[in-house]
Amino acid sequence: MTDIRAYLGRVAHATDAVLDKLLLGRTVYPPSIHAVMRYSTFAGGKRVRPALIMAAYEACGGKFGNKKVLLACASIEMLHTFSLMHDDLPCMDDDDLRRGKPTAHRAFTEALAVLGGDALCIFAFECLARTGRIDIVEDIARSLGTRGMIGGQVVDIESEGKKVGLKTVEYIHTNKTAALITASVRTGALLANAPAGTLGRLTRFGRHIGLAFQIVDDILDEEGTTAQLGKDAGSDRASGKATFPSVAGMAASKHRASALIRQSLNDIAFLGTKGTMLAAIAEFIGKRAN
Amino acid sequence: MTDIRAYLGRVAHATDAVLDKLLLGRTVYPPSIHAVMRYSTFAGGKRVRPALIMAAYEACGGKFGNKKVLLACASIEMLHTFSLMHDDLPCMDDDDLRRGKPTAHRAFTEALAVLGGDALCIFAFECLARTGRIDIVEDIARSLGTRGMIGGQVVDIESEGKKVGLKTVEYIHTNKTAALITASVRTGALLANAPAGTLGRLTRFGRHIGLAFQIVDDILDEEGTTAQLGKDAGSDRASGKATFPSVAGMAASKHRASALIRQSLNDIAFLGTKGTMLAAIAEFIGKRAN
Using the beta-carbon criterion (under 8 Å), do B115 and A144 form an inter-chain contact?
A: no
Burial class of residue B10, CB neighbours in 10 A (0-12, 13-18, 19+): middle
Contact call for A138 and B129, based on CB within 8 A: yes
The rounded distance, in Å, linking the Cα atoms of B71 and B2 is: 25
Candidates B131, B150, B157: best to mutate against A (most CBs of A within 10 A) is B150
CA torsion, points B120, B121, B127, B133, in degrees to nearest 10?
160
| Most A-contacting residue of B23, B76, B134 (CB-CB within 10 A), to test interface | B134
pLDDT over 80 at B8, yes or no? yes
| Greater model confidence, B118 or A45 | B118
Across the interface, do A122 and B122 touch by the CB < 8 Å criterion? no
Which has more pLDDT, B2 or A59?
A: A59
Query: Per-residue pLDDT tens for A109-150?
Result: 999 999 999 999 999 999 999 999 999 999 999 999 999 999
Mean pLDDT of chain B: 94
CA dist., res. A133 & res. A144, Å (int): 17
Q: How far apart are CA A132 and CA B133, in angstroms?
A: 10
* C-beta separation of A152 from B35 below 8 A: no
Task: Please say if the pLDDT value at position A289 is more than 50.
Answer: no
Cα(A160)–Cα(B34) distance, rounded to whole angstroms? 20
Termini Cα distance of chain B: 20
Residues of B in contact with A171 (CB under 8 A): 29
What are the pLDDT digits (tens) for B56-84? 999 999 999 999 999 999 999 999 999 99
- Determine the distance in angstroms separating the CA of B94 from the nearest CA of chain A, rounded to an integer: 11
Residue A242 confidence (pLDDT) = 85
Instruction: List chain B residues with CB under 8 Å of A145.
Output: 119, 122-123, 126
Closest Cα partner for A136 from A86, A72, A63? A72
Contact A175, A154 (CB under 8 A): no
CA distances (Å), origin A65, targets A55, A58, A73? 11, 10, 10
What CA dihedral angle connects A63, A65, A69 and A72, to 10 degrees?
150
**B32, B118, B147 member nearest A86 (Cβ):** B118
**pLDDT confidence tier of residue B288, bands split at 50, 70 and 90:** confident
- What ipTM is given for this predicted complex? 0.96
**Residue B289 confidence (pLDDT):** 45
Q: What is the largest CA-CA distance in chain B?
A: 52
A83-97, A189-203, A217-231, B276-290: range with lowest mean pLDDT: A217-231
Helix (H, G, I), strand (E, B) or coil at B223: helix
Please compute the mean of the pLDDT values over residues B41-49 and round it to a whole number: 95
Contact: A154, B30; criterion CB under 8 Å = yes
Q: Which of A114, A129, A133 minimises the CB distance to B114? A: A114
B interface test, pick of A22, A27, A126 with most B CB neighbours within 10 Å: A126
Question: For position B81, what pLDDT does the model report?
Answer: 98
pLDDT tens digits, B250-264: 999 999 999 999 999
Q: Using an 8 Å CB-CB cutoff, list chain A residues near B91.
A: 109-111, 114
Which pLDDT belongs to residue A288? 75
Angle B47-B49-B52 (CA atoms, 0-180°, nearest 5)?
A: 115
Query: What would the DSSP string read from start to end of chain B?
Result: ---HHHHHHHHHHHHHHHHHHHS--TTSSSHHHHHHHHHHHTS----HHHHHHHHHHHHTT--TT-HHHHHHHHHHHHHHHHHHHHHTSTTTT--SEETTEE-HHHHS-HHHHHHHHHHHHHHHHHHHHHTT-HHHHHHHHHHHSTTTHHHHHHHHHHHTTS---HHHHHHHHIIIIIHHHHHHHHHHHHHTT--HHHHHHHHHHHHHHHHHHHHHHHHHHHHS-HHHHTS-TTHHHHTT---HHHHH-HHHHHHHHHHHHHHHHHHTGGGGGGGHHHHHHHHHHHHTT-
The residue-averaged pLDDT of A189-199 equals 98
Of B32, B92, B121, the CB nearest to A121: B121
Alpha-carbon gap, residue A104 to A123, rounded angstroms = 18
Under an 8 A CB cutoff, do B125 and A123 touch?
no
pLDDT class for A290, splitting at 50, 70, 90?
very low
The mean predicted confidence, pLDDT, of chain A is 94
CA distance B91 to chain A (A): 5
pLDDT tens for residues B156-195? 999 998 999 999 999 999 999 999 999 999 999 999 999 9
Pairing outcome for strands A97-98 and A101-102: antiparallel
Angle at Cα B91 formed by Cα A104 and Cα B236, nearest 5°?
Answer: 140
Give the start-end residues of each E strand in A20-132.
97-98, 101-102
* Rounded-to-integer distance, Cα B120 and Cα B37, Å: 7
Domains, chain A, with CATH or none? 4-287 (1.10.600.10)
Where is pLDDT greater, at A287 or A92?
A92
Q: pLDDT above 70 covers what percent of chain A?
A: 96
Q: Of all residues in chain B, what percent carry a pLDDT higher than 90?
A: 88
Q: Does the distance separating the beta carbons of B118 and A138 come in below 8 Å?
A: no
In angstroms, rounded to a whole number, what is the distance separating the alpha carbons of residues A52 and A46? 11
Instruction: Verify whether the Cβ–Cβ distance B134 to A132 is below 8 Å.
Output: yes
Quick check: B125 and A115 CB within 8 A? no
* C-alpha torsion sign, points B193, B194, B199, B203: negative
Residue B290: its pLDDT value, please? 42
Q: What is the pLDDT of residues A225-283, one digit of tens each?
A: 666 666 666 778 778 888 999 999 999 999 999 999 999 999 999 999 999 999 999 99
